[in-house]
A and B are shown apart, each in its own frame.
Chain A
Amino acid sequence: MEERDSLATDNWWDLRDLSNIAGEILDLAERIGGNELAFIVSPIIGFVAAFLIFILPTQLFLGVYGERKIIGRMQSRYGPNRVGPFGLLQPIADAVKLLTKESYTPRGADILVMYTAPIVFVAPAVMLMAVIPFGPNMVIADIPVAVLYFLAMASFPVIASFMAGWGSNNKYSLFGAMRIVAMTLSYEVPLVLVLLGTVVITGTMSLQDMVWWQSDNNIWLVFIAPVALVIFFIAVSAELNRTPVDIAEAESEIVAGYLTEYSGMKWGLFYGMDIAYALASACFAATIFFGGWSLFGLEQWVPPWILFIVKVYAFYFLFIWTRGTLPRLRIDQLMKFAWQFMLPLAALNLLLLAVQRLIVVEAEIETSAIWWLFGGINLIIAAAAIYGWAKVLGYRRDEVPERPRLVKEVGGYVPYDSSKGAR
């Protein structure tokens, strides 16, 4: 990796890059206690910084409080407003309640599997955060295959969910487990394909380098491949069990799916980490599609990590919004959508991006304006492809109207003549 200009100064008080202050502290530790102390101090700094700046406010006050409050407003009710000022302490009260509840284990449950499932669920959620760049120097592990790492880690919850569903000795849990395995396997394919497209464009798998690429070219990947974002959002929603596609824990159908028999903090871990996965996905989307911590040069003045967090929150709001609005699909419809609709589109998207990358590389085009041109072309092709492919699949708007017929007279069956219209 070539040396780049740091966006911020090296002064420790420069809040635009928190790695400076961390570096100062590490230097101090090294002067006092040598290399060993610095080695111990550095993870503590990382943890404290991440916890105070990102995880605590986001997880608790966006993930729990914010989600409940926003959905509450969407449902024209207040949401949490009793515990603390504006109900802000609600997440803490929830956590205390969960910790004090009985952690119930049903008879006949496979205890080993059932108790291991939350652990398997939690660990990857924490590890996902390691590769997310918060600023030009603020990344815990800038590994060169971060995208691959993300996909691998994000697939772990499926195993945990299946363990939970299998171990609970409950038919609803088993239903949920079967559903989530089927669904995740289907949605992984388009997800990987669209991410492959972004990798082809930027030529790297490192998230930090992707941000630099977007920053250098002054374009976000979402403008180059808009359909990729849509597919990414839907696929990630499916993997995370967010509402339009939350068939694995469909509350009204199979009670709570694989979580039916979980209670207390065992359930709390699942709940909290669901939010963590959603946040990690939002971070990932913000990094890949929305330029991460860069904002067309504004990151020179505003601390990049604040920009990044704002983008994450905006993306997370989309999750909340869909959750508050949309009904749920059935599993066969969901599968059909993944395999018949999203997969061809993702493949087409990959093909287009690969061709465009090839053009840029072969013709040695230096100007980044070409990407705006390609973005426009891609947008048009995506719209045409969505429309055309829907037509090919036989999708059409419902011919039967959305309002019932009105009659004045009673007395038996009134046949429907579709040619005459609704009324």
Chain B
Amino acid sequence: MMATHWFDGHELADLTERVAPGSVERSTDAACYLKVEGLRETMDTLRTSAETDFIFLSNLCGADYWDRLEVVYHLHSFEKNHLGTYKVELIDRDKPVVPSVVPVWHGAWMQECEAYDLFGIEFEGHPTLYRILLWEGFPGWPLRKDFLSMPGGLQPGLNEFAGTARRDEPPVRTVDE
């Protein structure tokens, strides 16, 4: 068997447009951007279609580009042995919402929780979206670029010298709004 075929963005956009018409927003060299609306149906089509056969969700993660948030999907096919990079662009930083793909791939369950935990991306339709690594009520979304200037976000450094910090207060400063 040949080595994995890594689609480049434009090639993948063509393929996707063929399989699921009207789902592609734009494409770059690296990835094919999908429309947020109907994402789950698009993904389901991509999974079941014989041409794409993306039955394996290799990776799902968020990314922050200052002006927008992105969700990255690396999808793989075992039979055809090809890999495609899909992205979803989220302009609204305050309340980024994207349809969950858990019904399509159960493996997205924990990865979406992680993206929610660290980027604050809401996955609509996720069965149990909770902060998987941090605790509920952790201020801010740590992997965002503007984490340090978020309202209620943490500031690096301790108030006092380490070890002398009082136990009853957390040894961190918060930024007042």
Direct A–B touching, Cβ under 8 Å: yes
A412 within 8 A of partner (CB)? yes
A410 within 8 A of partner (CB)? yes
Chain A residue numbers with a CB within 8 Å of B81 are: 410-411
Q: CA of A409 to CA of B79 in the docked complex: distance in angstroms?
A: 11
Q: CA of A410 to CA of B79 in the docked complex: distance in angstroms?
A: 8
Chain A residue numbers with a CB within 8 Å of B79 are: 411-412
B-facing mask of A395-423, CB < 8 A → 1, else 0? 00000000000000111100000000000
Chain B residue numbers with a CB within 8 Å of A410 are: 1, 78, 81
- Shortest Cβ gap from A406 to chain B (Å): 16
Chain A residue numbers with a CB within 8 Å of B1 are: 409-411
Q: CA of A411 to CA of B81 in the docked complex: distance in angstroms?
A: 7
- Shortest Cβ gap from B75 to chain A (Å): 15
Q: Give the number of residues in A that approach B within 8 Å (Cβ atoms).
A: 4
Chain B residue numbers with a CB within 8 Å of A411 are: 1, 78-79, 81
Q: CA of A410 to CA of B81 in the docked complex: distance in angstroms?
A: 9
A-facing mask of B62-80, CB < 8 A → 1, else 0? 0000000000000000110
B-facing mask of A91-124, CB < 8 A → 1, else 0? 0000000000000000000000000000000000
Q: CA of A191 to CA of B131 in the docked complex: distance in angstroms?
A: 53
- Shortest Cβ gap from A280 to chain B (Å): 52
Chain B residue numbers with a CB within 8 Å of A409 are: 1
Q: CA of A409 to CA of B81 in the docked complex: distance in angstroms?
A: 12
Q: CA of A256 to CA of B29 in the docked complex: distance in angstroms?
A: 58
- Shortest Cβ gap from B76 to chain A (Å): 11
Chain B residue numbers with a CB within 8 Å of A412 are: 78-79
Q: CA of A72 to CA of B159 in the docked complex: distance in angstroms?
A: 51
Q: CA of A409 to CA of B1 in the docked complex: distance in angstroms?
A: 7
- Shortest Cβ gap from A413 to chain B (Å): 8
User: What residue in chain A is nearest B81 (Cβ atoms)?
Assistant: A411
User: What residue in chain A is nearest B53 (Cβ atoms)?
Assistant: A412
Q: CA of A412 to CA of B55 in the docked complex: distance in angstroms?
A: 10
Q: CA of A260 to CA of B118 in the docked complex: distance in angstroms?
A: 37
Chain A residue numbers with a CB within 8 Å of B78 are: 410-412
User: What residue in chain A is nearest B78 (Cβ atoms)?
Assistant: A412
Q: CA of A186 to CA of B1 in the docked complex: distance in angstroms?
A: 57
The 10 sampled A-B contact pairs (Cβ below 8 Å) are A409-B1, A410-B1, A410-B78, A410-B81, A411-B1, A411-B78, A411-B79, A411-B81, A412-B78, A412-B79
Minimum-distance CB pairs A-B, first 5: A412-B78, A412-B79, A411-B78, A411-B79, A409-B1
